[in-house]
Amino acid sequence: MYIKLLTLTTNAGKVHFPLKISAAILTAAVGSTLLFCMIVWHLLRGRRMVLRGESESCIEEDPIVRRQISELHSLQFDLQTIEVATNNFSNDKKLGEGGFGPVYKGTLPSGQEIAAKRLSRSSGQGVEEFKTEVELVAKLQHRNLVRLLGFSMERDETILVYEYVPNGSLDNLLFDPELSGRLDWSTRYKVMVGVARGLLYLHEDSRLRIIHRDLKASNILLDVDMNPKISDFGMARIFSANQTEASTNRIVGTYGYMSPEYLMFGHFSVKSDVFSYGVLMLEIITGKKNSQFLALDCDGGLLGHVWKHWTSRSPSEVVDPALSNAYSVNEVIRCMHIGLLCVQDDTEDRPTMDSVVLMLNSESISIPMPQRPSFFFPNKKYKPAPCVLNLDQSTGKADQSSSKITPPWSPTDTGASLSSKT
């Protein structure tokens, strides 16, 4: 092919450009045009991603999420199979309802029982939470984590399929006066140990470092042997190997379980989960919800109430009456002690989950003294009134604790001298 030389007419006449120079000019022009097109494309794509984030609850408008999830072929369920298993999501199959949506019991053709979580259109959770739960739980395997069997995304339905856990969630038993008796002390202790091991796996032992961010009684499921299984990973966040904390402007979780640094500043870490675990421990011991405890007219909430009785050497006064005195006083005191360590204000003062597991499983290890928790939620509807603590029989006055406490017993004291029920 013959290419003519590019010529340019000037006052001095014609100037001939060599072929190489002409090619260089042409290449530069084409490159600039392509670069401009790429910049425009990226800007438009970024705007589409922003718009998608603003409407992430609309799954059918999020092809990227669909493509990522579709790669997990082995976990996909046919929607018709789930509909048949749950009798078309009939009310008599409904197990309950959470932030994600209603949960239904079902039976697959193989006879395996399942729990199907169906995304509600009015749910505060959406595509990101759904994707997080699928991606995380599919990679996690631990006896104290609920097992994800699969998912379905068809005909505008978004469903997560889990193993069926027959004894339901912990809160349904723990906070029901008629059912709490099923949770004897040995079962409650097993639940606390199992949840601690599950969190330790998430924080340290799995392939990923995961912060759950929504640990609470309703997210603890109990299997046929009352073994606990942590569930609901829609709010979870993955940390890199060297990452220890992160911040967010979007606070998610449940009031009463969120740590002060997370609720007030958006900072979260493994120690945020430790705080939630401490609240859960105190709820298991007392049988009372942290969020509803203030109705007892006791200023300071559950954390303050437990602290006051622990420092006044009357811990048995806060133990759930449903236990009917059938519990180990030493174990109750130890668990109360560990729970108070976990809910301390300063993240540095809270133990790690491996330390918690060690303290729960060893009676000889020395446990440090906790600091007084100050992150209370006083109930403004009620006139602040001190809780009646250890009544001095000689004076008839209640022993009021101060902010500067002399520890009522040493960390190695098992509490044999405490005034407690036996």
What integer pLDDT is reported at residue 138 of this predicted model?
Answer: 74
pLDDT in tens, the chain (422 residues): 444 444 444 444 444 545 555 555 656 655 555 555 555 455 444 434 433 343 333 434 455 455 555 556 667 899 999 999 999 999 999 988 876 788 999 999 999 999 998 886 655 556 667 777 777 777 788 999 998 888 888 888 889 899 999 999 999 999 999 999 999 999 999 999 999 999 999 999 887 789 999 999 999 999 999 999 999 888 888 887 677 788 887 787 788 899 998 888 889 899 999 999 999 999 999 999 988 765 555 556 899 889 988 888 888 899 999 998 888 899 999 999 999 999 999 999 999 999 999 999 988 888 999 998 876 544 443 333 333 333 233 333 323 333 333 344 444 443 333 333 33
What integer pLDDT is reported at residue 292 of this predicted model?
Answer: 74
What integer pLDDT is reported at residue 154 of this predicted model?
Answer: 85
What integer pLDDT is reported at residue 66 of this predicted model?
Answer: 57
- Strand, helix or coil at 40? helix
Cα 271 from chain centroid?
12
Inter-residue long-range contacts of 232-236, CB under 8 Å, 24+ positions, other chains counted: 232/98, 232/99, 232/100, 232/133, 233/132, 233/133, 233/136, 233/137, 234/99, 234/100, 234/125, 234/129, 234/130, 234/132, 234/133, 235/129, 235/132, 236/132, 236/133, 236/136, 236/202, 236/210, 236/211, 236/212
CA–CA distance, 419 with 389 (Å, rounded to integer)? 12
Max Cα separation, the chain? Answer: 121
Which of 156, 171, 214, 225 is catalytic? The answer is 214
CA–CA distance, 213 with 223 (Å, rounded to integer)? 23
Tokens representing 20 are: 């190489």
Contact 248, 266 (CB under 8 A): yes
Q: What is the pTM of this model?
A: 0.72
Identify the residue whose tokens are 């290449």. Answer: 27
**191: closest CA among 201, 183, 182, 180?**
183
What integer pLDDT is reported at residue 325 of this predicted model?
Answer: 83
Query: Is 156 marked active-site?
Result: no
- Domains of the chain in start order, with CATH, are 79-163 (3.30.200.20), 170-361 (1.10.510.10)
Residue 104 pairs in a beta bridge with 94, 116
Tokens representing 314 are: 């009357």
What integer pLDDT is reported at residue 158 of this predicted model?
Answer: 86
What integer pLDDT is reported at residue 188 of this predicted model?
Answer: 97
Residue-wise DSSP of 354-394: HHHHHHHH-SSS--PPPPPP------TTS---PPP-SB-TT
What integer pLDDT is reported at residue 7 of this predicted model?
Answer: 46
What integer pLDDT is reported at residue 299 of this predicted model?
Answer: 58
